[in-house]
């Protein structure tokens, strides 16, 4: 078993467990690549003619767990950023619409946040603001336009249900996690053997790149976790199971 020739061509499914509470935080079973790297640093005692290396010392043991995925979840963003999750959000909205037959009235799709509305002629977007009054969703222009003239309205709206917002502050930092990995190895004898890994204390690096493009492959996210030792000096377990 210890000398079995084997290879891998499958990603690890990963379960992230909160290091402090020991509660599952994220089931990451949608990665394309998972890479585990162990690191260490060697220093040497030198002596004699030619300054040869005489004694080697190993230290600073650690490593990284790197995950590449084209699938996103809000929990994944929270894991990397350490941001707080809430279910309300404010954002700006832009609509282009025609005034009514009187040339003065516009009805918005939402009730805007007070003080956030700006109205422009359609041919002067973000130019000179038109004067108006507002009540609820109804906007009334101070000066009438011609019937059918179009205007552009910007306003802030608030969503209080159905939203998932990750709020990232300058003081936000990711939690530490225990990570359990699960994949398979294939032997030269055509056996499929379960392979497990345990990273005892993984700290996600708080770097996140989100790309949005209208061509090419779907945007990928790379998450890198630093592997540290837990309170019992454990860093990583690699387990092969013969069934």
Burial of 225: CB neighbours in 10 Å, binned 0-12, 13-18, 19+: buried
Average pLDDT, the chain: 93
Which stretches does DSSP call E strand in 99-176? 105-107, 118-121, 132-135, 138-141, 150-159, 165-167
Above 90 in pLDDT, residue 53? yes
Above 70 in pLDDT, residue 2? no
The predicted-structure confidence for 105-121, as pLDDT tens digits, reads as follows 999 999 999 999 999 99
User: Phi then psi for 77, rounded to 5 degrees?
Assistant: -60, -40
The predicted-structure confidence for 140-168, as pLDDT tens digits, reads as follows 999 999 878 999 999 999 998 889 999 99
Q: Residue 128 contacts by C-beta under 8 Å, 6 or more apart in sequence?
A: 120, 121
Buried b / exposed e along 21-58 (16+ C-beta atoms within 10 A)? eeeebbebeebeebebeeeeeeeeeeeeeeeeeeeeee
Beta bridge partners of 165: 86
The predicted-structure confidence for 21-34, as pLDDT tens digits, reads as follows 999 999 999 999 99
The predicted-structure confidence for 65-121, as pLDDT tens digits, reads as follows 999 999 999 999 999 999 999 999 999 999 999 998 888 999 999 999 999 999 999
Above 80 in pLDDT, residue 3? no
- For residue 41 the two structure tokens come to 């640093």
Above 70 in pLDDT, residue 212? yes
The pLDDT assigned to 102 comes to: 84
């Amino acid at each position: 078993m210890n000398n079995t020739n084997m290879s891998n061509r499958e990603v690890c499914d990963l379960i992230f467990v909160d290091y402090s509470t020991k509660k599952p935080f994220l089931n990451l079973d949608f990665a394309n690549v998972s890479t585990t790297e162990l690191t260490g640093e060697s220093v040497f005692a030198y002596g004699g003619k030619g300054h040869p290396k005489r004694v080697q010392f190993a230290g600073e043991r650690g490593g990284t767990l790197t995950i590449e995925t084209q699938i996103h979840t809000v929990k994944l963003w929270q894991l990397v950023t350490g941001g707080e999750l809430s279910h309300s959000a404010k954002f700006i909205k832009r609509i282009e619409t025609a005034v009514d037959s009187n040339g003065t009235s516009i009805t918005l799709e939402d009730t805007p946040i007070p003080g956030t509305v700006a109205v422009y002629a359609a041919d002067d977007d973000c130019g000179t603001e038109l004067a108006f009054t507002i009540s609820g969703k109804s906007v009334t222009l101070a000066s009438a336009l011609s019937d059918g003239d179009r205007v552009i309205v910007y306003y802030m709206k608030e969503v209080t249900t159905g939203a998932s917002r990750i709020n990232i502050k300058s003081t936000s930092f990711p939690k530490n996690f225990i990570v359990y990995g699960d994949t398979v190895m294939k032997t030269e004898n055509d056996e499929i053997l379960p392979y497990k890994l345990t990273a005892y204390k993984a700290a996600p690096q708080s770097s996140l790149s989100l790309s949005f493009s209208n061509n090419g492959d779907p945007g990928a996210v790379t998450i890198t976790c630093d592997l540290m030792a837990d309170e019992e000096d454990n860093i990583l377990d690699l387990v092969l199971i013969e069934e």
